[in-house]
Structure 1
Protein backbone atom coordinates (compact mmCIF):
# COMPACT_ATOMS: atom_id res chain seq x y z
CA UNK A 1 0.00 0.00 0.00
CA UNK A 2 2.89 2.35 0.80
CA UNK A 3 4.39 2.02 -2.68
CA UNK A 4 1.05 2.50 -4.46
CA UNK A 5 0.23 5.60 -2.44
CA UNK A 6 3.77 6.99 -2.78
CA UNK A 7 3.71 6.64 -6.57
CA UNK A 8 0.22 8.16 -6.66
CA UNK A 9 1.46 11.06 -4.52
CA UNK A 10 4.31 11.74 -6.94
CA UNK A 11 2.10 11.43 -10.04
CA UNK A 12 -0.63 13.58 -8.47
CA UNK A 13 1.89 16.12 -7.05
CA UNK A 14 0.12 15.72 -3.71
CA UNK A 15 1.80 16.57 -0.42
CA UNK A 16 -0.97 14.95 1.61
CA UNK A 17 -0.76 11.69 -0.38
CA UNK A 18 3.03 11.61 -0.01
CA UNK A 19 2.66 12.27 3.71
CA UNK A 20 0.11 9.51 4.03
CA UNK A 21 2.29 7.10 2.04
CA UNK A 22 5.27 7.74 4.29
CA UNK A 23 2.96 7.08 7.20
CA UNK A 24 2.08 3.72 5.61
CA UNK A 25 5.78 2.84 5.43
CA UNK A 26 6.15 3.83 9.07
CA UNK A 27 3.21 1.63 9.95
CA UNK A 28 4.76 -1.38 8.27
CA UNK A 29 7.92 -0.80 10.30
CA UNK A 30 5.91 -0.14 13.47
CA UNK A 31 3.82 -3.28 13.10
CA UNK A 32 6.98 -5.29 12.54
CA UNK A 33 8.51 -3.95 15.75
CA UNK A 34 5.23 -4.47 17.59
CA UNK A 35 5.06 -8.11 16.55
CA UNK A 36 8.70 -8.59 17.49
CA UNK A 37 8.14 -7.05 20.93
CA UNK A 38 5.01 -9.07 21.76
CA UNK A 39 5.90 -11.61 24.43
CA UNK A 40 9.42 -10.23 24.92
CA UNK A 41 8.65 -8.40 28.13
CA UNK A 42 7.87 -4.86 29.17
CA UNK A 43 11.36 -3.47 28.45
CA UNK A 44 11.28 -4.66 24.83
CA UNK A 45 7.75 -3.34 24.41
CA UNK A 46 8.71 0.06 25.78
CA UNK A 47 11.83 0.19 23.60
CA UNK A 48 9.74 -0.74 20.59
CA UNK A 49 7.31 2.07 21.38
CA UNK A 50 10.22 4.50 21.84
CA UNK A 51 11.55 3.58 18.40
CA UNK A 52 8.08 3.98 16.91
CA UNK A 53 7.83 7.46 18.42
CA UNK A 54 11.15 8.35 16.83
CA UNK A 55 9.93 7.09 13.46
CA UNK A 56 6.76 9.18 13.77
CA UNK A 57 8.81 12.28 14.58
CA UNK A 58 11.13 11.67 11.63
CA UNK A 59 8.20 11.31 9.26
CA UNK A 60 6.66 14.51 10.59
CA UNK A 61 9.88 16.37 9.80
CA UNK A 62 9.94 14.78 6.34
CA UNK A 63 6.40 15.96 5.64
CA UNK A 64 7.35 19.49 6.72
CA UNK A 65 10.21 19.37 4.20
CA UNK A 66 7.77 18.31 1.46
CA UNK A 67 5.46 21.19 2.43
CA UNK A 68 8.40 23.60 2.11
CA UNK A 69 9.17 22.24 -1.36
CA UNK A 70 5.52 22.55 -2.35
CA UNK A 71 5.55 26.20 -1.27
CA UNK A 72 8.58 26.83 -3.48
CA UNK A 73 7.20 25.02 -6.55
CA UNK A 74 3.46 25.23 -6.21
CA UNK A 75 1.83 22.67 -8.51
CA UNK A 76 -1.88 21.96 -8.28
CA UNK A 77 -2.35 18.28 -7.39
CA UNK A 78 -4.62 15.92 -9.32
CA UNK A 79 -7.72 15.84 -7.14
CA UNK A 80 -9.27 12.69 -8.65
CA UNK A 81 -6.15 10.58 -8.08
CA UNK A 82 -5.85 11.97 -4.55
CA UNK A 83 -9.46 11.04 -3.85
CA UNK A 84 -9.31 7.50 -5.21
CA UNK A 85 -6.04 6.66 -3.49
CA UNK A 86 -7.22 8.30 -0.25
CA UNK A 87 -10.38 6.18 -0.36
CA UNK A 88 -8.42 2.96 -0.95
CA UNK A 89 -6.02 3.79 1.90
CA UNK A 90 -8.94 4.65 4.19
CA UNK A 91 -10.49 1.22 3.60
CA UNK A 92 -7.19 -0.56 4.31
CA UNK A 93 -6.41 1.44 7.44
CA UNK A 94 -9.91 1.21 8.85
CA UNK A 95 -9.69 -2.58 8.73
CA UNK A 96 -6.38 -2.49 10.65
CA UNK A 97 -7.81 -0.05 13.20
CA UNK A 98 -10.72 -2.41 13.83
CA UNK A 99 -8.32 -5.33 14.37
CA UNK A 100 -6.29 -3.32 16.90
CA UNK A 101 -9.30 -1.95 18.81
CA UNK A 102 -9.38 -4.65 21.50
CA UNK A 103 -5.67 -4.95 22.36
CA UNK A 104 -5.03 -1.17 22.25
CA UNK A 105 -5.05 -0.91 26.05
CA UNK A 106 -2.96 -4.03 26.71
CA UNK A 107 0.42 -2.28 26.91
CA UNK A 108 2.43 0.67 25.60
CA UNK A 109 3.46 -1.37 22.55
CA UNK A 110 -0.10 -2.11 21.42
CA UNK A 111 -1.22 1.42 22.28
CA UNK A 112 1.46 2.88 20.02
CA UNK A 113 0.44 0.54 17.17
CA UNK A 114 -3.20 1.55 17.65
CA UNK A 115 -2.26 5.25 17.66
CA UNK A 116 -0.45 4.77 14.37
CA UNK A 117 -3.55 3.20 12.84
CA UNK A 118 -5.83 5.86 14.25
CA UNK A 119 -3.58 8.52 12.77
CA UNK A 120 -3.75 6.73 9.42
CA UNK A 121 -7.52 6.83 9.34
CA UNK A 122 -7.49 10.52 10.26
CA UNK A 123 -4.84 11.25 7.62
CA UNK A 124 -6.81 9.31 4.99
CA UNK A 125 -9.92 11.33 5.76
CA UNK A 126 -7.74 14.43 5.52
CA UNK A 127 -6.49 13.40 2.08
CA UNK A 128 -10.10 13.01 0.94
CA UNK A 129 -10.94 16.43 2.36
CA UNK A 130 -7.86 17.95 0.67
CA UNK A 131 -8.79 16.30 -2.64
CA UNK A 132 -12.22 17.91 -2.43
CA UNK A 133 -10.65 21.26 -1.61
CA UNK A 134 -8.24 21.00 -4.54
CA UNK A 135 -11.11 20.06 -6.88
CA UNK A 136 -13.22 23.03 -5.77
CA UNK A 137 -10.46 25.68 -5.62
CA UNK A 138 -8.07 24.43 -8.34
CA UNK A 139 -5.34 25.36 -5.86
CA UNK A 140 -2.57 23.50 -4.04
CA UNK A 141 -3.42 25.19 -0.73
CA UNK A 142 -5.89 22.59 0.58
CA UNK A 143 -3.25 19.90 -0.05
CA UNK A 144 -0.51 21.97 1.59
CA UNK A 145 -2.72 22.71 4.60
CA UNK A 146 -3.57 19.03 5.02
CA UNK A 147 0.12 18.12 4.72
CA UNK A 148 0.81 20.51 7.60
CA UNK A 149 -2.02 18.96 9.64
CA UNK A 150 -0.65 15.46 9.03
CA UNK A 151 2.84 16.62 10.06
CA UNK A 152 1.39 18.13 13.26
CA UNK A 153 -0.44 14.88 13.99
CA UNK A 154 2.81 12.94 13.52
CA UNK A 155 4.55 15.30 15.93
CA UNK A 156 1.86 15.16 18.61
CA UNK A 157 1.62 11.37 18.44
CA UNK A 158 5.41 11.04 18.52
CA UNK A 159 5.60 13.13 21.67
CA UNK A 160 2.80 11.11 23.28
CA UNK A 161 4.31 7.71 22.41
CA UNK A 162 7.85 8.74 23.39
CA UNK A 163 6.60 10.13 26.71
CA UNK A 164 4.70 6.91 27.50
CA UNK A 165 7.64 4.71 26.51
CA UNK A 166 10.14 6.73 28.54
CA UNK A 167 7.81 6.68 31.54
CA UNK A 168 7.50 2.91 31.31
CA UNK A 169 11.27 2.44 30.88
CA UNK A 170 11.86 4.69 33.91
CA UNK A 171 9.36 2.72 36.00
CA UNK A 172 10.99 -0.55 34.99
CA UNK A 173 14.46 0.75 35.86
CA UNK A 174 13.49 2.29 39.21
CA UNK A 175 13.72 -0.10 42.17
CA UNK A 176 10.79 -0.34 44.53
CA UNK A 177 10.49 2.61 46.90
CA UNK A 178 10.25 0.54 50.07
CA UNK A 179 11.99 -2.76 49.53
CA UNK A 180 11.15 -5.46 52.06
CA UNK A 181 13.46 -5.57 55.07
CA UNK A 182 15.52 -8.71 55.44
CA UNK A 183 14.30 -11.14 58.07
CA UNK A 184 16.33 -11.07 61.28
CA UNK A 185 17.59 -14.52 62.10
CA UNK A 186 18.08 -15.74 65.60
Structure 2
Protein backbone atom coordinates (compact mmCIF):
# COMPACT_ATOMS: atom_id res chain seq x y z
CA UNK A 1 0.00 0.00 0.00
CA UNK A 2 1.00 3.65 -0.18
CA UNK A 3 1.95 3.86 3.47
CA UNK A 4 4.15 0.81 3.18
CA UNK A 5 5.87 2.24 0.11
CA UNK A 6 6.64 5.51 1.81
CA UNK A 7 7.93 3.81 4.92
CA UNK A 8 10.35 2.01 2.63
CA UNK A 9 11.64 5.27 1.18
CA UNK A 10 9.49 5.85 -1.91
CA UNK A 11 10.04 8.97 -4.00
CA UNK A 12 7.10 10.87 -2.49
CA UNK A 13 8.46 10.63 1.09
CA UNK A 14 9.89 13.69 2.79
CA UNK A 15 13.70 13.75 3.11
CA UNK A 16 15.41 14.81 6.33
CA UNK A 17 16.19 18.54 6.43
CA UNK A 18 19.90 19.32 6.34
CA UNK A 19 20.28 22.26 8.72
CA UNK A 20 23.71 23.19 7.35
CA UNK A 21 22.32 23.30 3.81
CA UNK A 22 19.42 25.46 5.03
CA UNK A 23 21.85 27.97 6.57
CA UNK A 24 23.89 28.03 3.35
CA UNK A 25 20.74 28.78 1.34
CA UNK A 26 19.82 31.66 3.66
CA UNK A 27 23.34 33.11 3.33
CA UNK A 28 23.26 32.75 -0.46
CA UNK A 29 19.80 34.37 -0.58
CA UNK A 30 21.03 37.43 1.36
CA UNK A 31 24.18 37.77 -0.77
CA UNK A 32 22.29 37.53 -4.05
CA UNK A 33 19.54 39.94 -3.04
CA UNK A 34 22.14 42.51 -1.99
CA UNK A 35 24.18 42.11 -5.17
CA UNK A 36 21.07 42.45 -7.32
CA UNK A 37 20.52 45.96 -5.96
CA UNK A 38 24.20 46.88 -6.33
CA UNK A 39 24.48 45.68 -9.93
CA UNK A 40 21.11 47.04 -10.99
CA UNK A 41 22.13 50.57 -9.96
CA UNK A 42 25.71 50.22 -11.22
CA UNK A 43 24.65 48.68 -14.54
CA UNK A 44 22.21 51.51 -15.25
CA UNK A 45 24.76 54.15 -14.22
CA UNK A 46 27.56 52.61 -16.30
CA UNK A 47 25.38 51.75 -19.29
CA UNK A 48 26.57 48.13 -19.18
CA UNK A 49 24.21 45.44 -20.46
CA UNK A 50 26.55 42.78 -19.01
CA UNK A 51 26.15 44.24 -15.50
CA UNK A 52 22.38 44.57 -15.96
CA UNK A 53 22.23 40.98 -17.17
CA UNK A 54 24.23 39.85 -14.14
CA UNK A 55 21.89 41.84 -11.89
CA UNK A 56 18.94 39.92 -13.32
CA UNK A 57 20.83 36.70 -12.65
CA UNK A 58 21.27 37.74 -9.02
CA UNK A 59 17.54 38.47 -8.79
CA UNK A 60 16.68 35.12 -10.32
CA UNK A 61 19.07 33.33 -7.99
CA UNK A 62 17.66 35.10 -4.93
CA UNK A 63 14.19 33.92 -5.96
CA UNK A 64 15.54 30.42 -6.60
CA UNK A 65 17.13 30.22 -3.15
CA UNK A 66 13.86 31.40 -1.61
CA UNK A 67 11.92 28.70 -3.47
CA UNK A 68 14.50 26.08 -2.45
CA UNK A 69 14.09 27.07 1.19
CA UNK A 70 10.32 26.85 0.82
CA UNK A 71 10.35 23.28 -0.53
CA UNK A 72 13.29 22.04 1.56
CA UNK A 73 12.11 18.92 3.34
CA UNK A 74 9.05 18.50 1.10
CA UNK A 75 8.36 15.43 -1.01
CA UNK A 76 10.28 14.93 -4.27
CA UNK A 77 7.32 15.91 -6.44
CA UNK A 78 7.21 19.37 -4.86
CA UNK A 79 10.95 19.83 -5.16
CA UNK A 80 10.79 18.76 -8.81
CA UNK A 81 7.95 21.21 -9.47
CA UNK A 82 9.97 23.98 -7.82
CA UNK A 83 12.95 23.11 -10.02
CA UNK A 84 10.70 23.24 -13.08
CA UNK A 85 9.57 26.77 -12.14
CA UNK A 86 13.18 27.81 -11.59
CA UNK A 87 14.23 26.37 -14.93
CA UNK A 88 11.53 28.33 -16.73
CA UNK A 89 12.47 31.54 -14.88
CA UNK A 90 16.16 31.06 -15.70
CA UNK A 91 15.27 30.63 -19.35
CA UNK A 92 13.17 33.81 -19.24
CA UNK A 93 16.15 35.72 -17.80
CA UNK A 94 18.30 34.40 -20.65
CA UNK A 95 15.82 35.60 -23.25
CA UNK A 96 15.59 39.03 -21.57
CA UNK A 97 19.38 39.31 -21.61
CA UNK A 98 19.40 38.37 -25.30
CA UNK A 99 16.92 41.16 -26.02
CA UNK A 100 18.94 43.75 -24.09
CA UNK A 101 22.09 42.60 -25.85
CA UNK A 102 20.49 43.08 -29.26
CA UNK A 103 19.31 46.57 -28.21
CA UNK A 104 22.81 47.65 -27.15
CA UNK A 105 24.31 46.16 -30.30
CA UNK A 106 21.94 48.22 -32.45
CA UNK A 107 22.56 51.48 -30.60
CA UNK A 108 26.28 50.87 -29.98
CA UNK A 109 26.25 51.78 -26.28
CA UNK A 110 29.73 52.20 -24.75
CA UNK A 111 29.69 51.40 -20.99
CA UNK A 112 32.02 52.74 -18.30
CA UNK A 113 34.82 50.18 -18.03
CA UNK A 114 35.95 51.30 -14.56
CA UNK A 115 32.53 50.77 -13.00
CA UNK A 116 32.21 47.42 -14.78
CA UNK A 117 35.54 46.27 -13.38
CA UNK A 118 34.91 47.29 -9.78
CA UNK A 119 31.37 45.96 -9.57
CA UNK A 120 32.27 42.87 -11.59
CA UNK A 121 35.04 42.01 -9.13
CA UNK A 122 32.64 42.44 -6.20
CA UNK A 123 30.06 40.24 -7.91
CA UNK A 124 32.69 37.61 -8.69
CA UNK A 125 33.71 37.43 -5.02
CA UNK A 126 30.05 37.05 -4.01
CA UNK A 127 29.32 34.32 -6.55
CA UNK A 128 32.53 32.36 -5.93
CA UNK A 129 31.69 32.42 -2.22
CA UNK A 130 28.20 31.06 -2.89
CA UNK A 131 29.52 28.44 -5.33
CA UNK A 132 32.09 27.22 -2.80
CA UNK A 133 29.42 26.93 -0.09
CA UNK A 134 27.16 24.94 -2.42
CA UNK A 135 29.84 22.79 -4.09
CA UNK A 136 29.35 19.75 -1.83
CA UNK A 137 25.57 19.95 -2.32
CA UNK A 138 25.66 19.98 -6.14
CA UNK A 139 24.37 16.39 -6.53
CA UNK A 140 20.90 15.10 -5.79
CA UNK A 141 17.44 15.97 -7.08
CA UNK A 142 16.64 18.57 -9.74
CA UNK A 143 15.92 21.27 -7.16
CA UNK A 144 19.32 20.92 -5.49
CA UNK A 145 21.09 20.65 -8.83
CA UNK A 146 19.36 23.82 -10.05
CA UNK A 147 20.79 25.76 -7.10
CA UNK A 148 24.31 24.62 -7.95
CA UNK A 149 23.92 25.32 -11.69
CA UNK A 150 22.77 28.88 -11.05
CA UNK A 151 25.69 29.58 -8.70
CA UNK A 152 28.23 28.01 -11.05
CA UNK A 153 26.92 29.93 -14.06
CA UNK A 154 27.04 33.22 -12.18
CA UNK A 155 30.68 32.72 -11.16
CA UNK A 156 31.59 32.01 -14.79
CA UNK A 157 29.56 35.02 -15.94
CA UNK A 158 31.39 37.34 -13.54
CA UNK A 159 34.75 36.27 -14.94
CA UNK A 160 33.35 37.18 -18.35
CA UNK A 161 32.15 40.57 -17.06
CA UNK A 162 35.67 41.36 -15.86
CA UNK A 163 37.04 40.35 -19.25
CA UNK A 164 34.45 42.61 -20.89
CA UNK A 165 35.54 45.53 -18.70
CA UNK A 166 39.13 45.05 -19.85
CA UNK A 167 37.95 44.78 -23.46
CA UNK A 168 35.85 47.94 -23.27
CA UNK A 169 38.74 49.83 -21.68
CA UNK A 170 41.19 48.62 -24.31
CA UNK A 171 39.02 49.07 -27.40
CA UNK A 172 36.85 52.04 -26.43
CA UNK A 173 33.82 50.24 -27.88
CA UNK A 174 30.85 48.41 -26.40
CA UNK A 175 31.36 45.19 -28.32
CA UNK A 176 33.15 43.28 -25.51
CA UNK A 177 30.20 44.11 -23.22
CA UNK A 178 27.74 42.92 -25.88
CA UNK A 179 29.64 39.68 -26.57
CA UNK A 180 29.82 38.82 -22.86
CA UNK A 181 26.11 39.55 -22.39
CA UNK A 182 25.35 37.21 -25.31
CA UNK A 183 27.42 34.46 -23.68
CA UNK A 184 25.52 34.99 -20.41
CA UNK A 185 22.23 34.64 -22.28
CA UNK A 186 23.38 31.32 -23.76
CA UNK A 187 24.49 30.11 -20.29
CA UNK A 188 21.09 30.97 -18.81
CA UNK A 189 19.11 29.23 -21.55
CA UNK A 190 21.33 26.11 -21.57
CA UNK A 191 21.20 25.89 -17.77
CA UNK A 192 17.42 26.25 -17.90
CA UNK A 193 17.14 23.39 -20.39
CA UNK A 194 19.28 21.14 -18.17
CA UNK A 195 17.18 21.92 -15.07
CA UNK A 196 13.85 21.48 -16.87
CA UNK A 197 14.90 18.13 -18.35
CA UNK A 198 15.86 16.65 -14.97
CA UNK A 199 12.81 18.08 -13.21
CA UNK A 200 10.50 16.73 -15.91
CA UNK A 201 12.16 13.31 -15.73
CA UNK A 202 11.66 13.22 -11.96
CA UNK A 203 8.00 14.20 -12.28
CA UNK A 204 7.39 11.51 -14.90
CA UNK A 205 8.76 8.71 -12.71
CA UNK A 206 7.11 9.71 -9.43
CA UNK A 207 4.39 7.11 -8.76
CA UNK A 208 0.84 8.39 -8.41
CA UNK A 209 -1.13 7.54 -5.23
CA UNK A 210 -3.19 5.02 -7.20
CA UNK A 211 -0.09 3.31 -8.58
CA UNK A 212 1.54 3.19 -5.16
CA UNK A 213 -1.35 1.29 -3.60
TM-score (normalizing by structure 1): 0.92
Aligned residue runs from structure 1 range 149-164, under 5 A:
149-164=183-198
- Report Cα offsets for 1:34-89 as digits up to 9, x if no partner: 11111001011101110110111100110011012102221211001001101000
The whole-number CA distance in structure 2 between the counterparts of 1:6 and 1:94 is 19
Which ranges of 4 or more aligned residues in structure 1 deviate by more than 2 Å? none
The whole-number CA distance in structure 1 between the counterparts of 2:115 and 2:184 is 19
The whole-number CA distance in structure 1 between the counterparts of 2:198 and 2:165 is 34
In the alignment, what sits opposite 2:64?
30
1:96 equivalent in alignment to 2:130: yes
The whole-number CA distance in structure 1 between the counterparts of 2:207 and 2:45 is 49
Larger-Rg structure: 1
Give the aligned CA root-mean-square deviation in angstroms. 1.6
The whole-number CA distance in structure 1 between the counterparts of 2:197 and 2:207 is 15
The whole-number CA distance in structure 2 between the counterparts of 1:111 and 1:103 is 8
Secondary structure in structure 2 of the residue aligned to 1:101: helix
Match of 1:72 among 106, 120, 123: 106
In the alignment, what sits opposite 2:142?
108
Q: Which runs of 5+ in 2 are unaligned?
A: 1-34
The whole-number CA distance in structure 1 between the counterparts of 2:90 and 2:107 is 26
TM-score (normalizing by structure 2): 0.80
1:121 equivalent in alignment to 2:158: no
1:141 equivalent in alignment to 2:178: no
The whole-number CA distance in structure 2 between the counterparts of 1:54 and 1:122 is 20
Q: Which runs of 5+ in 1 are unaligned?
A: 181-186
Q: How many residues align?
A: 178
